Amino acid sequence: MSFIKEFKKFAMRGNVVDLSVGVIMGGAFGKIVTSIVEDLVMPMINPLLITERNWQSIQIGPGIKIGHFVAAVLNFLVISLIIFAMIRLIHRLKKSEAKAEVPTVTEKLLIEIRDALKK
């Protein structure tokens, strides 16, 4: 088998394509979450942490940027919270869809009648 045919077979496998889509969607989702944190959440948190200067530029020694570290930790916590909330919402939506797929009593009876008529 030629190199090109092997590569085509490898690249067109379902796992590779699914992974590619996942990476692309993850990157786009990451930008959305970053924008939520930086543009919506942090502007609400910043006024609570105001000192006489920008709190993110506070240093406790030469090159030890404690303010930058605290901002990174806050960003991580807020991003984690937002991702958790979004995934929880997605799971709830999936559960409601799964419940909708369960046939009702009437549908079950109609299925039984149909099956009996086929016999």
CATH architecture classification, 3-118? Orthogonal Bundle (1.10)
DSSP string, 22-78: HHHHHHHHHHHHHHIIIIIIHHHHGGGG--SS-GGG--SBTTB-HHHHHHHHHHHHH
Cα distances (angstroms) measured from residue 101 to each of 59, 73, 90: 58, 42, 17
Domain boundaries, the chain: 3-118
Tokens of 58: 């506070």
| Count of residues in the chain | 119
Residue 75 CB partners (closer than 8 Å, separation 6+): 37, 38, 42
Whole-model pTM: value is: 0.49
Per-residue pLDDT tens listing for the chain (119 residues): 788 888 888 777 767 777 887 888 888 888 887 888 778 877 787 777 666 667 777 778 888 888 878 878 887 888 788 888 888 888 888 887 767 677 788 888 899 999 999 98
Tokens of 15: 């796992």
